[in-house]
Structure 1
Amino acid sequence: MHFFVNKGMGHSNSGVEHAQFYRAARFKESNLPFKYIFTDYLPQLHQHMSEWQIAENDVIGLYDFFLSDDPMQYLRDGEAFQHTYHEDVLYDTKGVHRLVIRQTTGNFKATTYKKRFYDSSTSREINVDHRVILKNGQHQMSWHYLGTGNHKRMVNIHLNHFYEDDYFFATYEALLLFFYQQLERVFHHNVYFIDRGSDNEEVLVQLKSQQINLKIVAIIHAAHFVSKQGGHLLWNNHYQYLFDHLDQIDAVVVSTMLQKQDILKQLAFLGNTNISDKLYAIPVGGVDRVPKARRLSGDAIRFVTASRLHAEKNISHIILALAQLQANGISATLTIYGSGADEQNIRRLIYDEQMTGSVKINGLSQNLSEELQAYDAFVSASYSEGFGLTYVEAMAQGLPIVSYQNSYGAQTLIRPNENGILVPITDDKDKNVAALARAMRRLLTVYDTLSIGQQNVAKAFTNQQISTAWEKLVGDLR
């Protein structure tokens, strides 16, 4: 079985989850069996699976599995009983949040006890999750939390009536190890594609070191490298464990040839020259068909962007660049798709710049490719993109693209003056915004050329080619 390993998914997802969804579609095309694995406690998992049209029998949720009436049937068919999510909150006489009782979307209920304590780092009292009990009839899981925020961890985990036996795990890592041991009992010739979670990676490497016949494929979704200091390379924290244990990893997948070449050079600097055979570059998005060329369709050019609304996506740069276009008499609009923590700041900027009539936020779209048909050009202001799935969705509609020259997505998917315009990045935000505005303005003069060029670029990123690349990797692992 091929397992796509992640911590979770939700109503709004990052590029990691969208890359998984896309890979699943390619595996289905190639008749390669697969299942998603989600290891986080996700009370609304099945609702979100339905929103993203993920079949129940394509998913193994760690908590659904351990609390199932029939774990073997669950592994085969998925969750048979889904529920509508509901929660009740209990407050004490001082209005402090003390207890939450949830009907999860799976077949179990959850009770979370809260604890209030003084946090010396913030000099205030905070309310945190303290104890959790999950229950489905006789099947029960419970644990305590230690720490808060990024230091929060599960301890003293009890699993009751799993195959009629009771278990105790001192740590989450011990529970995770037990979970994968159960999967290895049922499924055979397993390949684990690790998309997120160094804890998953550590446990699977531990299992493999016990002479269990499994394969590990590490997926790199973002910039892997931070800097070079003396004779040392500083890796992105998410990938430190991977690079420390390359000998236990059967394949490493990046989404662009540029990133593959960088990794080979960096590892050669460390004296590791034996990685090339296990390093693959496979795009995490592609097109069904080569798009038709487009023409500008109205008086105002309609720009569009789509991403998580987080500060690192620099949506504010696009708004400010659009303001410069309008100040120079160019009629243009911007539509923003996405949701996230930076949304209120973006709305405030739109208001402050008096652009409420020309810039709008359309929220999260679960069918972005079709939505993009209504626009003329795509804009991105992110300084870093491991790949950039939204570039591909713009490509699929024949939209020319204006983007900062980020690594690695923009430099792979945008060919200057063929299907888009790349804007060099400096340390000066104002200069970057001005350069972005100039590129958006220049787009008007070369629009037809770029849209025709998008057809040529799209031919290198077809779904069929990408399916074939995954088939080759799977074949190489046999």
Structure 2
Amino acid sequence: MNFFINQAMGIGNSGVEHAQFYRAKRLDQAGLPYRYIFLNFVPELHKAMAHWNLQDEQVLNLWEYLVLGDDYLKTGLKHRRPAGESELVVDRTNTHRKRENVTDAGIRFVEHMVKGPDKHDPENEILQVSRYRVELFNEDTGERKVMYEVIDDPHLKAVVRNIHLFNQDGEHMFFRSLNGLHRFFFEKLDAAFGHQSTFIIDRGEFADDVLMRDRIPNSKIVYIVHADQLANRDDPKYPLWNDHYEYMLEHMDAVDAVVTATKRQREDILVDFPDAGNKVVAIPVGGVRDQSASVDAAVDMHTPIRFITASRLAAEKHVDIAVKAVAKLHEERGVDVVFDIYGQGEKKAEIEQVIKDANAESYITMKGLSNDLDNIYPDYDAFISTSFSEGFGLTYIEALNAALPVVTFDARFGAQELVQDGFNGFLQPLKREDESFNIAQIVLGLERLLDADYGQLKQNTQTSVEDFQDHVTAAKWEELLNAL
């Protein structure tokens, strides 16, 4: 069985989750089995699964297994129910002391609270209320199955410790930390599916050392690199690794395959690991349908010109630069434009303020999250991205497939792989610490777009995505997994 290893998954997700959704479809196309594995306790997990059209039998959660039993590993959740209402116990000082709820998987979780000093901010004189013990019950039987402590660590914050499993295989089991519990779970998964497991690590912080340090017999490990593996290469002899991939990069011999989203990143990893050529494989994390729609090269840009961007509204996406560039194009160059921003995230309010400060509310609009971008892209003329780094750039490939030229920074790795400057879009230089330079460069990229042969650009977008057709990617996954 092929297991996609994660911590959690919710309604609003990043490119990592969408990469997994795409991979699952390609494994379906190749006839390869898989399960999504989640290590965190997620009370609304199945609501999120329904949102992303995942079936309950495809999804296995550590804590649901511990409560629901061994059959769950083979069948997934058999019966989903309406989630319960939260029951809260408050003491005479109006302090929360206990909270209970029932998940849609039938798990009653009881959180016990404690009040004490703020360990993370000694100057804060206000006492903090936090969890100190959690119990999980099977709602149908009333049996308590799990109890653990939550330690408020000054450095690591909430840490799960001292985990008790009641009547687990007829025994009372105890794990000092999550590492031992995770190992137990992985071994159970391996046994349930015949001891021929391939662990595909997408979120490795709570899994990589557990799986790699002491390999489960006959298991295989595939590590997915979703972002730049480097924090920097200021010193060529001693590159600084991205924290998310540090353990894997320091134990490269313990994995069977490392999958990057682009050929360029594969080449960059081989700079530091020149002997790993047979282990590092490039497989796209997004693609286009095997039969792409035809493009009418005679179609002109709209009036006003319609630009779109779509991404998480996060700091690393720098959407504010796109806003300022479009406003500058409109106000200083007199270009009649519409710019729609799709996505949600913690920078939403800041971006709204940038739009307001630029007096651009009449032509720059926040559109919120959309799950239907395939049908939205054709309403626009070009795609703008101001991300400083993309492991792949799922929205780039989606936009190109919809015949939208892409204007973005010449950033590693997705932009450099997917956007060919002057052919299907425009790549502009980037200076990370110089916002004025970056804004000016995006304006220049947009001006280059306006001066180009737009019909030819649209035709070229289709040529540029031919190697990313679904059946090509499905064949790459089939070849990799069958060769392990």
**TM-score band w.r.t. shorter chain:** over 0.9
Structure 1's consecutive aligned runs of 4 or more residues displaced over 6 angstroms after TM superposition are: none
Q: Distance in 2 between matches of 1:6 and 1:36?
A: 7
Q: Shift of residue 301 of structure 1?
A: 1.1
1:60-75 → structure 2 map (5 Å cutoff): 60-68=60-68, 70-72=69-71, 74-75=72-73
- Tell me the amino acid that sits aligned with residue 164 of structure 2: H
Q: 1:350 to 1:100 in 2, by over 3 A?
A: farther
The match for 2:33 is: 33
- Tell me the amino acid that sits aligned with residue 438 of structure 2: N
The match for 1:147 is: 152
Mapped contact 2:391–2:412 kept (Cα < 8 A): yes
Q: Shift of residue 333 of structure 1?
A: 1.2
Q: 1:337 to 1:91 in 2, by over 3 A?
A: farther
SS across alignment from 1:292: coil
- Tell me the amino acid that sits aligned with residue 230 of structure 2: F
Q: Distance in 1 between matches of 2:236 and 2:263?
A: 27
The match for 1:24 is: 24
- Tell me the amino acid that sits aligned with residue 98 of structure 1: R
The match for 2:206 is: 199
The match for 1:115 is: 114
Show CA shifts across 1:131-183 (max 9, x none): 11111132521111113574421101111123333211111111111111111
SS across alignment from 2:63: helix
The match for 2:137 is: 135
Q: Distance in 2 between matches of 1:243 and 1:358?
A: 46
Q: Distance in 1 between matches of 2:359 and 2:96?
A: 40
Which of 241, 248, 259 is equivalent to 2:265? Answer: 259
Q: 1:297 to 1:126 in 2, by over 3 A?
A: same
Q: Which moved more, 1:47-56 or 1:142-151?
A: 142-151
Mapped contact 2:2–2:200 kept (Cα < 8 A): yes
Mapped contact 1:291–1:398 kept (Cα < 8 A): no
Q: Distance in 2 between matches of 1:87 and 1:280?
A: 47
Mapped contact 2:322–2:442 kept (Cα < 8 A): yes
1:58-457 → structure 2 map (5 Å cutoff): 58-68=58-68, 70-72=69-71, 74-85=72-83, 86-119=85-118, 121-122=120-121, 123-124=123-124, 125-136=127-138, 137-148=142-153, 150-187=156-193, 188-208=195-215, 212-228=217-233, 229=235, 231-268=237-274, 273=275, 275-288=276-289, 289-293=291-295, 295-327=299-331, 328-426=333-431, 427-446=433-452, 447-457=454-464
Q: Shift of residue 452 of structure 1?
A: 0.9
Q: 1:97 to 1:377 in 2, by over 3 A?
A: farther
Show CA shifts across 1:365-396 (max 9, x none): 22222222222211100001011111111122
- Tell me the amino acid that sits aligned with residue 81 of structure 2: H
Mapped contact 1:291–1:395 kept (Cα < 8 A): no
Q: Distance in 2 between matches of 1:94 and 1:144?
A: 24
Q: Shift of residue 8 of structure 1?
A: 1.1
Mapped contact 1:292–1:397 kept (Cα < 8 A): no
Q: Which moved more, 1:392-401 or 1:113-122?
A: 113-122
- How well do the aligned residues superpose, as a CA RMSD in angstroms? 1.7
Q: Shift of residue 400 of structure 1?
A: 0.9
Mapped contact 2:148–2:160 kept (Cα < 8 A): yes
Q: Distance in 2 between matches of 1:33 and 1:310?
A: 34
Q: Distance in 1 between matches of 2:253 and 2:225?
A: 16
- Tell me the amino acid that sits aligned with residue 168 of structure 1: F
TM-score by length of 2: 0.93
Q: Distance in 2 between matches of 1:87 and 1:443?
A: 54
- Tell me the amino acid that sits aligned with residue 290 of structure 1: S
Mapped contact 2:213–2:254 kept (Cα < 8 A): no
Q: Distance in 1 between matches of 2:184 and 2:400?
A: 44
TM-score by length of 1: 0.94
Q: 1:346 to 1:77 in 2, by over 3 A?
A: same
Count matched residues. Answer: 468
Mapped contact 1:378–1:394 kept (Cα < 8 A): yes
Q: Distance in 2 between matches of 1:189 and 1:121?
A: 44
Give percent identity, aligned residues only.
Answer: 34
Q: Shift of residue 93 of structure 1?
A: 4.0
Q: 1:264 to 1:141 in 2, by over 3 A?
A: same
Mapped contact 1:334–1:358 kept (Cα < 8 A): yes
Q: Distance in 2 between matches of 1:4 and 1:399?
A: 32
- Tell me the amino acid that sits aligned with residue 34 of structure 1: Y
Mapped contact 2:7–2:206 kept (Cα < 8 A): no
The match for 1:469 is: 476
SS across alignment from 1:465: helix
Q: Where does structure 2 lack aligned partners over 5 or more consecutive residues?
A: none
Q: Distance in 1 between matches of 2:251 and 2:396?
A: 33
Q: Distance in 2 between matches of 1:365 and 1:387?
A: 20
Q: 1:177 to 1:434 in 2, by over 3 A?
A: same
Q: Which moved more, 1:331-340 or 1:228-237?
A: 228-237
Q: Distance in 2 between matches of 1:139 and 1:131?
A: 13
Q: Where does structure 1 lack aligned partners over 5 or more consecutive residues?
A: none
Q: Distance in 2 between matches of 1:46 and 1:258?
A: 37
Q: Distance in 2 between matches of 1:8 and 1:343?
A: 23
Q: Distance in 2 between matches of 1:260 and 1:249?
A: 15
Q: 1:161 to 1:416 in 2, by over 3 A?
A: same
Mapped contact 1:52–1:366 kept (Cα < 8 A): no
The match for 1:12 is: 12
- Tell me the amino acid that sits aligned with residue 300 of structure 1: P
Q: 1:192 to 1:375 in 2, by over 3 A?
A: same
Q: Shift of residue 26 of structure 1?
A: 0.1
